[in-house]
Structure 1
Amino acid sequence: MALQEKEILEALSSTKILTSMITPAVLISAAGTLIFSTSNRLGRVFDRVNSLKSELEAVFTGKLTYPEERLAVIRSQVEIQHIRAGLIQKALSALYTATAFFIAASLAIAFNVAYGSSATSWIPTALALAGGLFLFAASAFLLYESRYNLTFINRHIQFIKYLEDRHEEETHTRKGE
């Protein structure tokens, strides 16, 4: 066996490759966890939109009281869900891109340890940093989206209080007659 072939074999069998690849693997795992939870958030938006659709249909068929007020609330809630869905989609795109960069960094580390030189050692770092930037962007989108979720919840609570107050007023009016 030639000396060069032996060096390549030793480099490939070295645990140095695997230990060098651990950090990107942790980042891949983190991005995967965020992808899972963000996909669940998108599912929740879909569920809420379906619920709003059912409520809208009930308003149109006259099954619910205060139709004008309900229509106004439904319109604003649907708009919030539309914005949330867009932000979540952007976050998912950034998370998938981050994952791709982290996988590329892991592979680049392996190739650099096995075949590279100090002249190419910057490549895995650059790929990992790009993945980190996309992970940061996804986090920013999700932070912004969570504010819209809070707006949705607060408006929902306000409308429930409005309905309670209206019901109480009507109950007092009937008792006073």
Structure 2
Amino acid sequence: MAMVERELLDALSSARILTSMITPAVLISACGTLIFSTSARLGRIFDRVNALKGELEEVLTDRLSYPGERIAFLRDQFQLQRIRAGLIQKAMAALYTATALFVAASLAIAFNVAYGTADTAWIPTAIALLGGVFLFVASAILLYESRFNLRFVSRHLDFIQFLQDQHEQKGDGH
């Protein structure tokens, strides 16, 4: 067997390939977990929009009190959910991009160990770092999106307080 073939066989059978690929695999797993939880957040947004739509339909058919206040409240809530859904979509795109880059980094590590030289050793690292940037961006977007969720909850609580106050005022007048 020629020397080059032996070196290639040693490189391919080496545990070095697998150990080098562990870090991207852990990051791929982290991205998968974030994708799963972000998808659940998107599902909750859909459920909330459906509930708000049902409330709007009740207001429009005069089944609920304070229709003007409710319509203004619902308009605000729909806008918050629209923003949240857009942010979630951007985060998902960044997470899928990060996952693809971590998979590419893992493959680049294997190819570099098998066929690369010292001159190409930086390529897998650069790909993994780019994946890290996308993971960071996705995390930042999700953090920003959580502010909109807090606004949604706070405004909901404010409206509930308004309804309670209106009910108490009616009770005092009778």
Q: Report TM bin, short chain.
A: over 0.9
| Paired amino acid for 1:27 | L
Is 1:154 the equivalent of 2:154?
yes
Distance in 2, matches of 1:11 and 1:37, equals: 38
Task: Check if 1:86 corresponds to 2:86.
Answer: yes
Output the CA distance in 2 between the equivalents of 1:38 and 1:110.
Answer: 30
Shift of 1:63: 1.0
Counterpart for residue 100 of structure 1: 100
Shift of 1:79: 0.2
Q: C-alpha distance in 2, partners of 1:11/1:145? A: 45
Q: Does 1:68 align with 2:84?
A: no
The answer for the alignment partner of 1:141 in structure 2 is 141
Deviation track 1:140-170 (CA, whole Å, cap 9, x = no partner) reads 1101100000000000000000000000110
SS at match of 2:82: helix
Please report how far the alpha carbon of residue 2 of structure 1 lies from its aligned counterpart in structure 2 after TM superposition. Answer: 2.4
Identity of aligned residues (%): 68
Give unmatched runs, 5+ long, in structure 2.
none
Q: Point out where structure 1 has 5 or more consecutive residues left out of the alignment.
A: none
SS at match of 2:151: helix
Deviations 1:53-108 (A, max 9, x none): 00000001111111111000000000000000000000000000000000000000
Residue 126 of structure 1 aligns with an amino acid whose one-letter code is A
Q: Partners of 1:120 and 1:166 in 2: how far apart? A: 70
Amino acid at match of 1:136: F
Mapping 1:1-177, distance limit 5 Å:
1-174=1-174
Compute the TM-score of the two structures, normalised by the length of structure 1: 0.97
1:114 is displaced (CA, Å) by 1.2
- Give the whole-Å Cα distance in 2 for the aligned partners of 1:4 and 1:84: 56
Runs of 4+ in 1 over 6 A off after TM superposition: none
Q: 1:96 is aligned with what amino acid?
A: Y
* Distance of 2:109 and 2:4 partners within structure 1: 20
Q: Secondary structure, in 3 states, of the residue corresponding to 2:120? A: coil
CA distance in 1, matches of 2:76, 2:163: 17
Provide the rounded CA distance (Å) in 2 between the counterparts of 1:93 and 1:5: 42
TM-score computed with the length of structure 2 as normaliser: 0.98
Counterparts of 2:144 and 2:7 in 1: how far apart (Å)? 51
Deviation at 1:116, TM superposition (A): 0.8
- Count residues with an aligned counterpart: 174
Q: Encode CA deviations 1:90-139: one digit per residue, 9 max, x unaligned.
A: 00000000000000000000111111111000000100010000011101
